Structure formats: structure tokens, C-alpha cells
Structure 1
């Protein structure tokens, strides 16, 4: 009997992009390892929702900036499910601040979660996948604006730029250990604008896309599924941004 495929989705406890990705993978038949750091109650709700829809799911806590915690989480997921076929790194932090006020602590805060956390999960899960005959697929979440950053996020964008570098680096490293392990990245545009964003700023973000509308987390989930389905794509970084990367409005 073919073992059930298993997906670990970081940052899927809270009701953001990660939980939508987890739901899409569950509907594809994956058992879901729901990762959370502090959102224990929301993670429990996510697991309950996945199970009520007929899926298999369990929650796993970890501070992704802590190497030992990441190792323990991966060990626990493998112990519970027996394998990991897909990893989707949705956990992220972002806080706007004028450049004049950015401190070294702000930069470390973003790098620790967005860059280091992504690297550690890719490393530990990827090495486990390399031991599986079937390999596995990793999808990281970057940001379209690393190539054309806008002001106010000087501590955040460098950390997301490191995600694409990690994607390419780990695609090479892991494929040399098992050619059936693939690593790709999605670079989202405005898919889940903050609810407290002023209407003028929201409209500005929408007008800066070519499709003239806000995207949704389901657009990111569709891109994740595409990367998992296409086994001839690795080391790729795909903008899912409504054309924001190529459009330069006045």
C-alpha cells in the first residue's frame, strides 16, 4: 500500500497564507503537519478543521530561529507520520519602520525568522527527504519586492532576498544528495493586505498591479501545488504578484 504523503507547512497555525496552503494540500490527500510558534489555539483550530474535512493533521510547535527546536520539530514530525514529502515555508515576520529608526536588532529580528528559519527547516527537512527514495519537494515563500523594494521595510526586504538565495543553494545541495529532492520559491505580491492598512495605501497597491486587483492566499496555494506537481522544476523563483514585478507605475 502506498504510504500517505505528508506535508509540513510552517506558519500554518495562524489564519494566514500558511493555513490556506495547508487546506489545499489536505484536499490533495496530504497529511498535514501544522507548525506554529505561539499560536497554539489557532493551530488547534486549524488541525480540527482539517480533520473535520476528512484529513489527517497534527500540530507541532517550534521557534524556527532555534536550531535545536527545528531539529526536534522535524524529528517529531517524522516520528508521528514516518516521512515528509513536502515542506512549505510560510512562517514570516514583517514590521515597517523608517530607515532612520532601523536598528541592528530590527535587522536581526527579520533575518532570524525569514532567512535563518527558512534555511534551518530546508536543511533539516531536505536532508531527511534525501534519505527517502521518493525524495521530496520544498517550496519557500519570498517576496516580489526584493527586486524592486519600496520604502519603509529596509530591515525586512534583505531577509526575504536571502530566501531566494537559500532556495537556489539548497536546490543544488539537496539534488546532489538525491536528484528527486527539489527546492523552489514563490514571490508573492499583494495577496493578503493587512486589514488595518489605510484605504488609500490599499488602492495604491492594487493599482500597482497589472490585473488591478488584490490577490488571495489561494493564488499562492495554487502555485505551491504547481511546484509539487511539476517534477522537472527546481531552483526556480516564481513571482505570483499580478504583474507587479514587471510594472512600474508612476
Structure 2
């Protein structure tokens, strides 16, 4: 048995199938971790969702920002893109979307000491807080009030404070787990920054480079949608998207 981790899929079913074939993935004995963004502009998003759902316990997938965008579009409170339309028109759309809503924001394997997220974990949070705060959003998304969250979801909540409550709190948690890339030294998220570390302005750091990260003991596996091109990645494992045809082998049975 082997455990592999793969970055953002972005709706590219063909690339995912090619990569699974390349690594010889066998769902009967192997497992894969998918770092979010199953959905994307590619019209094969429908096939990606069906495939990953069919893998059952052989696949662990966390939510990315494009997945939340798809859920918002399906709920009628967000803009759709061409890649979402086959999902929204599919006869099994409700089943697939319910399954997607039930994916987590974080997955931790205590035995292997690996933690899977789409974007990252804020420096201010301990491991216990990271799990608890993620659950606050996950529980809302997986239950009947999920549409209210999607209606109130804002992508500009960029600063954490322990006194945050209500939608602002849930919005920051969701944004941190699905959109965080760069931040300033105080931990404020910068949603506009992307690209290599070497190209960023002074004072802007990858989230994992902040000093005194409270969950620094975790080995975090995440989707490198920023394209950090960073060699100083101790304790974190950035994953290129599926187009790169790279899967990281995390463990053997």
C-alpha cells in the first residue's frame, strides 16, 4: 500500500487519470490525498467529481476555493464558469454537490504526522485550534444551513482575531484554508499576491515562513497554487497542480 498526495485538479479529468496511471494507483490497496480544487474551469469537472467520489475511502479530498465557488454557483449566490455547467446540469448534481459539501478543510493523520489542507494554516493557530475552527465551517457546510453560509461568504476577510464571531469568523477560516498564499509579518492575508517568493515586495512572506507558527510541528501538505518556487520549505510539502504530472509519495504500507 502507498499513500500519494496530488495538488489542485482544476477539473482536469484527463490529467488526473494520466497521473494515476503513471504512479500505478490501485484503489484496492493504495490511497491518495487530493489538496482541493477538484473543480475548475475545465468542463471535465463533472468527471473529476464522479471519479473521486467513486473511490470512497481510498481518496481523501479537502476543499479549495474553486470548490467553494462551485457550491456557491449551485446555490444561486455566486458566479458560475463554463467548467461548472456540466455539473449543474447533471442528473446526479445534487448527490455530487452534497458529497462535495461534506469534504473537510483539513485532514490529519496522527500516525503519519501529515496534515492535508488546500492553502495553509494560519500562524496564530495551534493544531487544536486549526481542527476546531475548520470544524466550525465544515459543520455549517455539511448541514441544512449551508446556503446561508454561501450567501454570506466574502473573500475579503483577511485578518484573524480571536474575538471574531458570526459570518466574519467563518469567512476568515474558509479564506485561510482555501485562499491563503502570502501574508505580511503580522499575519494579514494578501489575496492579490502570487508567483515566486523572489518576486514579492518587502514584508510579504509565504504563510509558512512566518515566525513562531503555533502549528509548526505539523508536516503540512498543500496545493502550491501560488507557484512559490521556494527552497526554504522545511516541514511543509507544496504540491504542483495536476498538469505537472507529479504526485508526492508520502508513505508506504
Q: TM-score, normalised by structure 1?
A: 0.32
- Greater relative contact order: 1 or 2 (C-alpha under 8 angstroms, separation 6 or more)? 2
